[in-house]
Amino acid sequence: MSLTTAPEELGLQHAPESTAQHNTEIISSCSDTQNYRDQQHTTSLTDQTNLLPFKKIIVCFLGLALCIVVSTLDSVIVATAIPTISAAFDAGSIVSWVPSAYLLTSTSFQPLYGRLSDIFGRKAAISVAMLVFMLGNLLAGFSRTIIQLIVFRGIAGAGGGGIISMAQIVISDIVSLRDRGKYQGIIGVVIALGYAVGPLIGGSLAQNVSWRWCFWICIPVSGCAMAVVIFILPLKPVKGNMTGKLLSVDFFGAVLTLVGCTLVILPLIWGGVTFPWGSAVVLAPLLSGCLVVVLFCIWEWKGARLPIVPMYIFKHATVTGVYITMFVNGFVFFSSLYYLPQYFQVVLGYDPVGAGVFLIPVLVSQMVLSWIAGVIVSRTGRYRSIIHSGFAIWSISCGLTSTLTPHSHKAEIVIFMLLAGSGAGQTLQTTTVAAQASVSRRDMSVVTAFRNFIRLLGGTLALALGSTILNNSLRSAMSSLEYPSVLTSRIVDNPALLSTPTALDISASDASFILNAGYTKGFRTVFILNAALTAVATIASITLIKHKDLNRGDENNLKAATSEVNKGEDEMKMYPKVTSNLAKVGMAGDKEV
């Protein structure tokens, strides 16, 4: 089946629940039809939908889960080992580029994987992503200098950025839209599990074995996951020769994507930490990046034969709403993941393990609610109310977290963390289902990949703004104490030093003042900002995200067709000799004729 098939044949006309909804869907179907007509003169893509029976889905899902665990484990394991790596290379502040390089490339390459998987096939795209990821980590473990390590982590990020997106895209190929919420919910569980156990594994390896194993540990698991993808995952091959596929690639758009993302993300990493926000080093690439992004949008709109990000997807209010809410999701999630453990260490005095324990309620509640939300979506076909309640609960939890003080009770902290995880868990995979339900199959992969790109971009901005807020708050508190600039910079770079004021040669009262008037105030500002953003996301989800019927008309036919193909393959396996003899007889008959 070619994806230039008319939308009504692909099941884009959903069963109406009311006259008003029916009219809305007719308009939506007409819009999709026009989008197809706009693309028909450019190129034709293979429909890679291959709805599988439950038993095969389980086997495939185990392989995809391995891929996802590898990706999430890697980022948190390496983050935990950063102090050890810094000491090994005597790297100082430049060690921050180890995670930054990975973040930069993983975010920049994110939009490319969706369209490349359309052209070359899902199996090829996810295999290349895993291979590049493994190669980068293998080389990183053998690094002899900090510069080598940064470069090799950038290579790993180019592959790692596509793993989760490709897993979600493959699930959209093998599972019906109605059942997708359940499996996407399990993906949320796997991601949270990786974030939960990663710090423990990373800390143990860095302290008891070697920091190099923080990069190597994921390679065997990656190899197993890649073997499952190559040999077990029954994905449809993409038609066409390699020359035609290469000609379909939007190379100019790919270059604009990578250049634009790099120019935008680099100053976000530098701003307020390495360089002041007002410096030319930050503003010049940021403004240049915005210009490149504008050029990219114009090219994708008017010039590209097969756009990496088709501009017409933004005509769907739901897709726009999902992107807004996912930007907020990434902003608040990564902000919480980074600054909550730091607050527990700096202000409440916990060691890294104790601080990590307080994240367990967040991740456990997130896993549970992600799975429950997925099951509810699969059974009811409804997702809007879940998204609304998720962001509303998350907003409340951020507001409550901003009230934490050094005297807060442990039970109070745990309750706030449970609320945060409950809210986040309802927003992760339900938004994926909402976006995929709003577009045709042709655009499902690019919509999914761009959704993950937006989320990572939000996380990048969160770390930049959070660092700026906390640093400015600390400097403001210390300005009245008239400390030397060297001491001020030392405290700003590592606020945990305030737990031992004698090592800084300052009084305990001064250290307490800096913690309360500086760090705690900055932390409160960060989470008030998070609460405001999640409130905005709640409003955006209510006004923009619309309900779409998750029962697509052609999915029963696709399941039946897949079942017939599988039945034929099973018969071929049961009677290989008979099949071979019949083939020989047919060939002999052809020769006689």
Hunting for tokens 């930490």 — which residue is that? 273
pLDDT of residue 490: 81
Lookup: tokens for 535: 């409130």
User: In one letter, which amino acid is 85?
Assistant: I
Residues in the chain, total: 593
In 14-96, alpha helices (H): 19-40, 54-89
pLDDT of residue 537: 95
pLDDT digits (tens, 9 = 90+) for 294-311: 999 999 898 888 888 889
pLDDT of residue 402: 92
pLDDT of residue 556: 56
Q: Is 279 left (phi over 0), alpha (psi -120 to 50) or beta?
A: beta
349: Cβ contacts below 8 Å, ≥ 6 apart? 499
Q: How far apart are CA 542 and CA 544, in angstroms?
A: 6
Lookup: tokens for 184: 């996407």
pTM of the model: 0.80
Lookup: tokens for 27: 């308009």
378-407: buried (b, 16+ CB within 10 Å) or exposed (e) per residue?
Answer: beebebbebbbbbbbbbbbbbbbbbebeee
Q: How far apart are CA 541 and CA 546, in angstroms?
A: 8
pLDDT of residue 138: 93
Widest pairwise Cα distance in the chain: 102
pLDDT of residue 554: 58
DSSP state of 175: S
pLDDT of residue 565: 54
Q: How far apart are CA 467 and CA 463, in angstroms?
A: 6
Residues of the chain predicted below pLDDT 50: 1-42, 570, 578-580, 582-593
pLDDT of residue 274: 74
Residues 428, 432, 433, 435, Cα dihedral to 10°: 140
